Amino acid sequence: MLNSILLFLNMGTPELMLILFAVLLLFGGKKLPELARGLGKGMREFKDASDGVKREIHRNINAVNDDLSVDLDSKKTTESEQQTEKPHINS
């Protein structure tokens, strides 16, 4: 997975090392674990929120499908009841 991300960004080892070195210089060795933890928590919250949105969308789609199937079933039932109730007129 990491390899595919790096290929997508077209970043090699030298570029990655330069970025990591710049981050180390800017924030220091003691702040890096805090930053990584905060980034991990943020990514987890984002994933949870997006999963919640997906669940809500699927729940609404299923509710609409259930309503449509109930409406279609009730329509078929009413039509069959109407056909059985009509007396046949023989001329």
How do the pLDDT tens digits run along the chain, 91 residues long? 566 665 667 778 888 889 889 988 988 888 888 988 999 999 999 999 999 999 999 999 988 888 777 766 676 666 666 666 555 555 5
In angstroms, rounded to a whole number, what is the distance separating the alpha carbons of residues 53 and 80?
Answer: 41
Identify the domain containing residue 16 by its residue range: 1-30
- 46 and 76 both lie in a single domain: yes
Same domain (yes/no): 1, 22: yes
Kindly state whether residues 49 and 25 are assigned to the same domain: no
2 and 25 housed in the same domain: yes
